[in-house]
Amino acid sequence: MGFRYDCLTFLAPSELTLHPILAHPAELSGMKACSRLAIRGKFLLLLVSFTLIPLFFIPTIIACSNGECQLLESCSTATDCGPGLYCGNCPALGKTQPFCIRGQATIPNSIISGLPFNKYSWLVTHNAFSIVDAPSLTGAQRVTFYNQEDSVTNQLRNGVRGLMLDMYDFENDIWLCHSFRGQCYNFTAFEPAINTLREVEAFLTQNPSELVTIIIEDYVRTPKGLTRVFTDAGLDKYWFPVAKMPKKGEDWPSVNSMVQNNYRLLVFTSDSSKEATEGIAFQWKYMVENESGDPGVVPSSCPNRKESRALNSRSASLFLMNYFPTIPVQNEACKEHSAPLADMVATCYKSAGNRMPNFIAVNFYMRSDGGGVFDDIDRVNGQTLCGCSSVSACQAGAPFGSCKAVPMPSTTPTTTGNAGSFSGSVQLTGDASTTNVAGIFVLHLLPFIITFTLL
């Protein structure tokens, strides 16, 4: 009697135990043979699987490294990303895996030069001095909010061209403080203003074709206090004279002439009296400005700040656009600097009578989900300077609207040769966010505590 065996019915050696009574010795032999075949087949399948599976995953893990990773590509270390990029993430948008994010601005006058200063748009850091982990110079534990993550020098090297600084009388000197009610305390103080101003002086000296704007929230009451600190920092030699500033909304001098005349530092103050007494331009005489803090980030709304003229006024030729919440939170900044910022630029453009902002001020400027504020400013400059979708598409000397093809998204920002390089010093931690939230209650109570103490 013959036996026919289908080895497909014998899936595992353990199945031998399911047949305690065997009909014939040949059946036992056949079952053993099939079991051996099944074991070999499974081993071969596992071998092939472990050989091929890594081939599918390894390319995604090590697709790029050593400075070769481009914008939005996955990365694992700070050195993986190319020039002008850093390795970060954006958990606020659900992007928890690290990828290359833009961290450096395009210098617009390095592509299209010779136009009036008010035709360009520049990146501004709100409270540029209020830096995470900045050591206390007063010996007191600082209780305040933080707005940036790297030094002013590094901000300038990364293409920031406007600095918002809060200046106060403190310790018989002029200090940078993030405080309230016009009073600087040892727990809200950062450093003497001259320290930061010397960083600006060093940058302007090392980069003779660059221009910097300083916008002062001014609480200094010492006569000639601002004049003295700028002079002591060596910045008077770069000062743009207030007498030469356009007073009725006319065009500013060209950036080329400003460089040639060494008028490369523009300084504005919130104190109207300083223009007459110290020759420092009163901010809202020369620029319009939207609301700062939470009112300035409401979608589809771009109201003017109460001190400013209407945004569509043509009596001032500069436009400062604020885009930062009242309470700065590091880990939320990447979300703020994605689509909402681009939408707000469009909203403010309409509110300003179809005028693009000359300055865009933000917190934690390097944080985004890709191109961030850098891409937005590139788009603004592109549309204004050459009629293109990005300043990277502009061509010097070409007719307006003649745009060259550029890869999208842009992989490497364009800068002048001596504009500095990205240092990778951005901090991707939530420490400051925690400190900020914890300090909110204290900061709001402090005025009442001080008042009660003085009663």
Residue-level pLDDT at 406: 85
Q: Judge residue 301's burial from the number of C-beta atoms within 10 Å of its C-beta, 0-12 exposed, 13-18 middle, 19 or more buried.
A: middle
Q: Which helix (H) or strand (E) holds 436?
A: helix 431-454
Q: What is the pLDDT along the chain (455 residues), one digit of tens a residue?
A: 444 444 433 344 444 434 333 445 555 455 455 555 555 555 555 555 555 554 444 444 556 888 999 999 999 998 999 999 999 999 999 999 999 999 999 999 999 999 999 999 999 999 999 999 999 999 999 999 999 999 999 999 999 999 999 999 999 999 999 999 999 999 999 999 999 999 999 999 999 999 999 999 999 999 999 999 999 999 999 999 999 999 999 999 999 999 999 999 999 999 999 999 999 999 999 999 999 999 999 999 999 999 999 999 999 999 999 999 999 999 999 999 999 999 999 999 999 999 999 999 999 999 999 999 999 999 999 999 999 999 999 999 999 999 999 876 544 554 443 333 444 444 443 333 334 444 444 454 555 444 444 44
Selection from 438, 363, 445, 361 nearest residue 142 by Cα: 438
Q: Would you give the distance in Å from CA 290 to the centre of its chain?
A: 20
C-beta neighbour count of 11 within 10 angstroms? 13
What integer pLDDT is reported at residue 407 of this predicted model?
Answer: 74
Spatial contact of 172 and 217, defined as CB atoms under 8 Å apart:
no
Tokens 């270390």 belong to 77
Per-residue pLDDT of 203-216, as tens digits, reads: 999 999 999 999 99
- How far apart are alpha carbons 162 and 156 in whole angstroms? 9
pLDDT tens-place string over residues 142-159: 999 999 999 999 999 999
Domain residue ranges of the chain, discontinuous segments joined by +: 7-61, 64-102, 103-440
Fold of the 103-440 domain: TIM Barrel (3.20.20)
